[in-house]
Amino acid sequence: MLAYILRRLALIIPTLFGIIAINFVVVQFAPGGPVEQEIATLKGRAGMVAGAGETSAPTGGLYRGDQGIDPHILAEIRHTFGFDKPPLTRFWLMLKGYLTLDLGQSFFLGQSVWSLIIQRIPVSISLGLWSTLLIYLISIPLGIAKATRDGTRFDLVTTLMVLVGYAIPGFLFAIMLIVVFAGGTAFQWFPLRGLTTVGSQSWAWPARVGDYAWHMVLPTVAMVVGGFASLTMLTKNCFLEEIGKHYVLTARAKGASNARVLYGHIFRNAMLLIVAGFPAAFISILFTSALLIEIIFSLNGMGQLGYQAALQRDYPVMFGTLYVFSLLGLLMQIVGDILYTVVDPRIDFSARR
């Protein structure tokens, strides 16, 4: 197993290199980079100063961000953002920084990328962790109950509920929660945005914990409703597959109770995929599902940081967060493989050829 883990860790380096290289090449062809945005800002300020009585130089119907800008100012802007160097040089400098865990400085926020990630990632981890735990706590018992009552009215009704939850996008359900429970039209039971109340830092810790939980209710519910459907059906199908196997029939023939058969024999085999998939599920919820939820509820997490960086073409933040996301995702895949062997010791990845 140790040799397998070492091989997987060694594969992280070329995988990260490929992910970053592909995204770097794609970004080079994207219009409206940081230099163009800064030039547009300067031209906008110049236009406001000039007033309505002055006009800028004609462009002939073509967009030229540097037209009307002093060449020395343009060169200074390119130097500030590092675009006075060839793309390949910038790429290798970025990789050199990543090897020393230096993610660079944000173009527009005036902070290091690491400090921004450290500030934002607790919000995303908090939201992703609570959502993942609730999804598992709801989906596993519900999936087991559906498997043991397959074809009954309970199974049909809960399947309808699961399909409804699967069909409604998480962000749409979040908007509905805001309209109903956050002062939209009906009730004002929960706060509209943020994770803390203004001035709560001076409260006693039990009050701060309660305030935090109060703010987390709506975004967590929105993520749980959108994520529990697939895990519920996976749990049901895994248990149904195990229920029909010969060892289950043998255990029942020997007089074992239903509870003994279900939790003593079926549970461990059926939970293999579900438990081992927890790290991947957490990463998926943390870095994909939380994006729109963070934007809707104004939560300063990693999703909103990446979204703002993409809009502003803040390349150090974009690539820095991509590097962290990819590294965590690859490490969590290895953790998932280790969990496979913990749940079922018969699995031996090192024996594969």
| 10-46: pLDDT as tens digits | 888 899 889 888 888 888 777 777 777 777 766 665 5
Residues 266, 113: contact at Cβ < 8 Å?
no
What is the C-alpha to C-alpha distance for residues 173 and 187, in angstroms, rounded to an integer?
16
pLDDT computed for residue 63 by the predictor = 40
Residue segments in the chain with a per-residue pLDDT below the cut of 70: 41-70, 79-80, 183-185, 276, 286-289, 344, 346-353
Neighbour-count burial for 297-317, b at 16+ CB within 10 Å, e otherwise: bebbbbbbbbebbeebbbbbb
Strand partners, 182: 188
pLDDT computed for residue 61 by the predictor = 40
The full set of domains in the chain, from first to last, is 34-92 (no CATH), 113-351 (1.10.3720.10)
Sign of CA dihedral 156, 157, 161, 162: negative
What is the C-alpha to C-alpha distance for residues 57 and 148, in angstroms, rounded to an integer?
76
What is the C-alpha to C-alpha distance for residues 98 and 323, in angstroms, rounded to an integer?
8
pLDDT computed for residue 352 by the predictor = 56
Residues 186, 125: contact at Cβ < 8 Å?
no
Residues 128, 282: contact at Cβ < 8 Å?
yes
φ and ψ at residue 111, rounded to 5 degrees: -130, 160
Q: How many CA atoms lie within 13 A of 179 on its CB side?
A: 6
Which SS3 state, helix, strand or coil, does residue 177 take? helix
Sign of CA dihedral 150, 152, 158, 160: positive
- Residue (of 215, 222, 182) closest to 198 by Cα position: 215
* CA R_g for the chain: 26
Which DSSP letter does residue 287 get?
Answer: I
Which SS3 state, helix, strand or coil, does residue 266 take? helix
What is the C-alpha to C-alpha distance for residues 229 and 219, in angstroms, rounded to an integer?
17
What is the C-alpha to C-alpha distance for residues 144 and 243, in angstroms, rounded to an integer?
11
Strand partners, 188: 182
What is the C-alpha to C-alpha distance for residues 208 and 206, in angstroms, rounded to an integer?
5
Q: Considering the entire predicted model, what is its pTM?
A: 0.74
pLDDT computed for residue 58 by the predictor = 45
